[in-house]
Amino acid sequence: MNSAPRVLAVLDDLLTAAAHDERGALWQLAEQGRELDANLVRLPPGAEVGEHQEDVLDVLAVVIAGSGRVVVAGGGDSLDLTPTTVLWLPRTSRRALVAGPDGLAYVTVHRRRPGLTIKPLAKASAAAPVAPSPADEGGEAPCMLDRVCPGCGRLSQDPEPVFCSRCGERFPER
């Protein structure tokens, strides 16, 4: 792992190079050995990231350009978003994002999501055999491609996703 500080992106350059109607993750932190994930996400004017909930991670979002609002589920409240707004999205909070007339560009930062792993069952000995617990049986379905975002590749925790909680991309109709 390289522990030297370095510039990874210039956000103004990325936003300038993007097409006016381009949406989704324009940049993602991809360095090896990192403990964080970060993304530059852009929504064109009027675009939405539908109501969703992140169950595992808190997310910090910083508005870089444009405007919009976060619609808080349940209470119907909304929070205005303008450049330099720092927004905390606690895990389990339900929310939706709506871009304003100039679109919305923001950076998200959160703890890196651990990769999926397959864990072996505990080894049994002749003296103490180990019976599998219900948690050890089964596992994930063999194919969850319908839950993989077509824009950024994130696996959605929602069994029937409509919008990606990372980049805002709409999932194809089923």
pLDDT bin (cut points 50, 70, 90) of residue 9 is very high
Burial track 134-166 (b if 16+ CB lie within 10 A, e otherwise):
eeeeeeeeeeeeebbbebbebebeeeebebbbb
Q: Which CATH architecture has domain 11-114?
A: Sandwich (2.60)
Is residue 140 scored above 80 in pLDDT? Answer: no
pLDDT tens profile 74-111: 767 899 999 999 999 999 889 999 999 999 999 999 98
pTM of the model: 0.65
